[in-house]
Amino acid sequence: MDFPWEAGTATGVGSYPGTDPAEALRVVLGELPGLPHLPELPERGPGADMIGRTAGLLVDLAVRVEPSGWRFSDRPGRDTRRSHDHLVRDLDVLEELAGDHDGPFKIQVCGPWTLAAGIELRSGDRALKDPGAVRDLTASLAEGVAGHVADVRRRLPNAQILLQLDEPGLPAALAGTVPTASGFSRLRAIEAPIAEDGLRQVIEASGAFPIVHCCAPNVPYGLLRGAGAKAISADLGLVPKRDDDAVGETIDAGIGLLLGVLPGTDAALPRLQATAAPVRDLWRRLGFPIAQLGEQVVITPSCGLAGASPSYVRAALRRCQETARTLHEAPDA
């Protein structure tokens, strides 16, 4: 197996508290040197949130903020410009602080299915309801993400770029449990081959090492592998034993796992061995060589850290790194 990260690596999922991109990136670079990433700061407001940030990457599709959330608009306006401005500021800071980084570096964007569930058509319905709108959105996102990856590569010329597609809404889209705009009914389920094709379109256009993050129950491991994901990020606390076969097939296929082991909001951190134990238990239960664990698994918080305090963020990231190192150096402990 050939992964872009070194054995015993930890990383973050995406979001952080605060509004200062330089401060957040310094924390990431300091605590997660093996696999740093571009932090997202939704506290800055519309355009810095997951949906708005990614909507700003869309090509030839504009959005605006309505009381109900993000909605397509006829032309770019203040809200689209705000999304662009936040991202440009983040990338300027990235180039200033990490321009000479020569290892793997991760960036995150919202995946097409969660994005389609989070943006409304002009009629007020979710874009997910309209197959034609979803096709246009996916094609626009693929083009925008390709440009974004290229921009990051220009700013980090010595780095290997990893692209994380955030798809927390994908299981609900597949299950047909996404509510309509009124909330009184549910949208029709998306067929698995169609969902896989949409993800594949964005992954292939990006040209980056693809990761799909899904911090929800019922992660569709097989679908994500079929779409081209080379690593899957999940909250370990939401991985039930009934998923063992799917997780085992994923490991056997040589797919990396980014496993969330700590809460995303302030909590008392368990002892180091207690943090590592669920990861070891999963690996042993599935019967894979324990020496392989530190190479194939990256340790993360369970989800984004936007709701946490700065002191907890530092402590949690440090614990993730310590856990990853322990799982590599002492896998049988």
Each as own residue / partner, the long-range contacts of residues 280-288 (CB below 8 Å, 24 or more positions apart, any chain) are: 280/327, 280/331, 280/333, 282/236, 282/239, 282/247, 285/241, 285/244, 286/244, 286/247, 286/248, 286/251, 287/248, 288/248, 288/251, 288/252
Please give the CATH architecture assigned to the domain spanning 21-43+97-329. Alpha-Beta Barrel (3.20)
The pLDDT, as a whole number, for residue 294 is: 94
> What string of pLDDT tens digits covers the 333 residues of the chain?
789 999 999 999 999 999 999 999 999 999 999 999 999 999 999 999 999 999 999 999 999 999 989 999 988 889 999 999 999 999 999 999 999 999 999 999 999 999 999 999 998 899 999 999 999 999 999 999 999 999 999 999 999 999 999 999 999 999 999 998 877 899 999 999 999 999 999 999 999 999 999 999 999 999 999 999 999 999 999 998 889 999 999 999 999 999 999 999 999 999 999 999 999 999 999 999 998 999 999 999 999 999 999 999 999 999 999 999 999 987 777
Position 51 scores a pLDDT of: 96
Note the pLDDT of residue 149: 98
pTM above 0.85, yes or no: yes
